[in-house]
């Protein structure tokens, strides 16, 4: 009999949802008595929380997994788990590919980890990928940050963008109730968190699966209502959210963001392509004109708002002229940040079967040209910060310089300045911006009376 604690290590791939799920699963494991091991090669339990959005994300998992499967031959009591989107997509097939696996579990099963592990410890090889109703979480996540926290508001996605695996792997939309969401945020406020990010693959869909309609026949709960419902939680000073879908983005939401002081003036609204024909074949449900109107409206209400987005190049059939429409949109809008990707055909999605696939050479050429423009535009956008005083929420020490701390502006620009993390962590301070780069800023702390007073109580 051994009395020493077993240890675990989680490696997370993919989006913020996966990061949030990993924190919940780490919470479950710690609740079961597992201890965090920084070195995966020392851990008794390894969990890969996986992503399959593009082929390279999926392949990364197999190479990691191969190494741990080998280690299991020397250490038979090693527990090996694949969770997340590859698990959901591959299911049983993963066991055939890697027979050393103990547990394959889809994203909808994240908070069932304890039950599933019990079955593993009873000697079973377990696959949990059936669609389920996601139960309200009773476990406590082990959050990576003590300043900023993720809060899921809606799971799954009911859209059918023709390139995307997410609906296949995350299932149908399931909104949490406003009460459950608020209760989680209140608890975060009590624990000293300053910032929350509300999460959903299509956050504008929030509430459409919840019961109830207004006398006018609208859904009783919308994302805008949710913002009004949670914005005053004590202790929470900043509220962010992602991801917005142009098809459902409303002026009412924009007004709410302008009106509610805690909502950060940063919007992440992927457009995917600047060409109407491509957008149609992606089944996105909007035109580039509509997208431009949304951004204009945001900038009318909040002239300084930061705008970020995602875009795909080389979607099947995309012509040079259609790609240039994407460049044009990027040129005209001037994004603060744009995440770009070459189209990757995904199993089980319509576009993967289309004949007019674009060659890797053309895709990577377009990606390079787009990225070049993105960096130029981001650098231009950064210029507006020069000399300004920005409010920065301090998150961590700068890992590359122990004399500096880092945090984010309201518009989500990463900002560095001289300071002591022990004094500043979790504080919102005024920083004069003295240096700007495309994707980050450097500044000097302004010791105004108010922030000095705050430091002393903090």
Chain residues that interact with ligand SF4, rule: CB under 6 A:
157, 159, 161, 164, 166-167, 201-202, 245
Task: Quote the CA–CA distance of 350 and 297 in Å, as a whole number.
Answer: 33
Task: Quote the CA–CA distance of 24 and 105 in Å, as a whole number.
Answer: 14
Yes or no: say if 90 and 127 are a contact pair by the CB < 8 Å rule. no
Cα atoms in the Cβ-side hemisphere of radius 13 Å centred on 137: 24
Q: From the CB of 159, what's the least distance to ligand SF4, in Å? A: 4
CA 171 to chain centre: 17
Instruction: Work out which of 343, 385, 416, 417 binds ligand SAH, going by CB under 6 A.
Output: 343
The residues, any chain, with a CB within 8 Å of residue 94's CB and separated by 6 or more, are: 82, 86, 87, 101, 104, 127
Cα atoms in the Cβ-side hemisphere of radius 13 Å centred on 64: 21
Among positions 341-370, residues that touch ligand F3S (CB under 6 A) are none
Determine the interface stretch with ligand F3S among 47-55, 71-79, 90-98, 112-120 (rule: CB under 6 A).
47-55
Q: From the CB of 356, what's the least distance to ligand F3S, in Å? A: 24
53 near ligand F3S, rule: CB under 6 A: yes
Angle at 375 between CA 374 and CA 379, to 5 degrees: 115
Q: From the CB of 156, what's the least distance to ligand SF4, in Å? A: 9
The residues, any chain, with a CB within 8 Å of residue 366's CB and separated by 6 or more, are: 313, 314, 318, 323, 342
Instruction: Work out which of 69, 128, 169, 298 binds ligand F3S, going by CB under 6 A.
Output: 169
Instruction: Work out which of 25, 51, 253, 337 binds ligand F3S, going by CB under 6 A.
Output: 51
18 near ligand F3S, rule: CB under 6 A: yes
CA 202 to chain centre: 11
139 near ligand SAH, rule: CB under 6 A: no
Per rule CB under 6 A, count of chain residues that contact ligand F3S: 13
Binding mask 194-223 for ligand SAH (x = CB under 6 A): -------xx---------------------
- In terms of Cα–Cα distance, which of 178, 202, 186, 114 is closest to 149? 186
Q: From the CB of 107, what's the least distance to ligand F3S, in Å? A: 7
Q: From the CB of 344, what's the least distance to ligand SAH, in Å? A: 4
Radius of gyration of the chain (CA): 23
DSSP symbol at 213: B
CA 370 to chain centre: 22
Yes or no: say if 338 and 313 are a contact pair by the CB < 8 Å rule. no
Task: Tell me the torsion sign for CA atoms 126, 127, 130, 136.
Answer: positive
Yes or no: say if 405 and 424 are a contact pair by the CB < 8 Å rule. yes
Partner touching 117 among ligand F3S, ligand SAH, ligand SF4, none, CB below 5 to 8 Å by kind? none
Q: From the CB of 73, what's the least distance to ligand F3S, in Å? A: 29
Determine the interface stretch with ligand SAH among 252-260, 342-350, 407-415, 418-426 (rule: CB under 6 A).
342-350
Partner touching 167 among ligand F3S, ligand SF4, ligand SAH, none, CB below 5 to 8 Å by kind? ligand SF4
Among positions 34-93, residues that touch ligand SAH (CB under 6 A) are 53-54
Determine the interface stretch with ligand SAH among 90-98, 336-344, 376-384, 435-443 (rule: CB under 6 A).
336-344
In the complex, the residues that contact ligand F3S under the rule CB under 6 A are 14-15, 17-18, 51-53, 84-85, 165-166, 169-170
């Amino acid at each position: 009999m051994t009395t020493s604690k077993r240890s675990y290590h989680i490696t997370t791939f993919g989006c913020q949802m996966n990061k949030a799920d990993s924190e919940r699963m780490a919470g479950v494991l710690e609740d079961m008595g597992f201890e965090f091991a920084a070195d995966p090669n020392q851990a008794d339990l390894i969990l890969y929380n996986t992503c399959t959005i593009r082929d390279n994300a999926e392949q990364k998992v197999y190479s990691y997994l191969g190494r741990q499967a080998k280690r299991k031959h020397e250490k038979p009591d090693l527990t090996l788990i694949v969770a997340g989107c590859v698990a959901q997509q591959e299911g049983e097939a993963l066991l055939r590919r890697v027979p050393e696996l103990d547990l394959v579990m889809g994203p909808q099963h994240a908070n069932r980890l304890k039950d599933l592990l019990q079955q593993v410890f009873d000697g079973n090889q377990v696959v949990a990928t059936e669609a389920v109703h996601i139960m309200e979480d009773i476990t406590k996540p082990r959050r990576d940050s003590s300043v900023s926290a993720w809060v899921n508001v809606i799971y799954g996605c009911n859209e059918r963008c023709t390139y995307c695996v997410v609906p296949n792997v995350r299932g149908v939309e399931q909104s949490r109730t406003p009460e459950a969401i608020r209760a989680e945020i209140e608890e975060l406020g009590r624990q000293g968190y300053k910032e929350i990010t509300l999460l959903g693959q299509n956050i504008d869909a929030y509430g459409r699966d919840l019961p109830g309609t207004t006398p006018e026949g609208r859904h009783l709960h919308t994302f805008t209502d949710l913002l009004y419902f949670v914005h005053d939680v004590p202790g929470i000073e900043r509220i962010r959210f992602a991801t917005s879908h142009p098809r459902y983005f409303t002026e009412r939401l924009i007004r709410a963001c302008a009106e509610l002081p805690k909502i950060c003036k940063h919007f992440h609204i992927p457009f995917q392509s600047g060409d109407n024909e491509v957008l149609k074949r992606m089944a996105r449900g909007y035109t580039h004109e509509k997208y431009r109107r949304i951004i204009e409206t945001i900038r009318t209400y909040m002239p300084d708002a930061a705008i970020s987005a995602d875009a795909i190049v080389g979607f099947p059939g995309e012509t040079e002229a259609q790609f240039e429409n994407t460049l044009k949109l990027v040129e005209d809008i001037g994004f603060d940040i744009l995440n770009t990707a070459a189209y990757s055909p995904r199993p089980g999605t319509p576009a993967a079967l289309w004949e007019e696939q674009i060659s890797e050479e053309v895709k990577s050429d377009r990606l390079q040209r787009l990225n070049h423009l993105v960096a130029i535009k981001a650098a231009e956008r950064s210029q507006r910060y020069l000399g300004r005083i920005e409010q920065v929420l301090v998150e961590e020490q700068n890992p590359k310089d122990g004399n500096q701390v880092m945090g984010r502006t309201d518009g989500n620009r990463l900002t560095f300045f001289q300071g002591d993390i022990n004094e500043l962590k979790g504080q919102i301070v005024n920083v004069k911006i003295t240096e700007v780069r495309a994707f980050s800023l450097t500044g000097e702390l302004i010791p105004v009376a108010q922030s000095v007073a705050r430091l002393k109580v903090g």
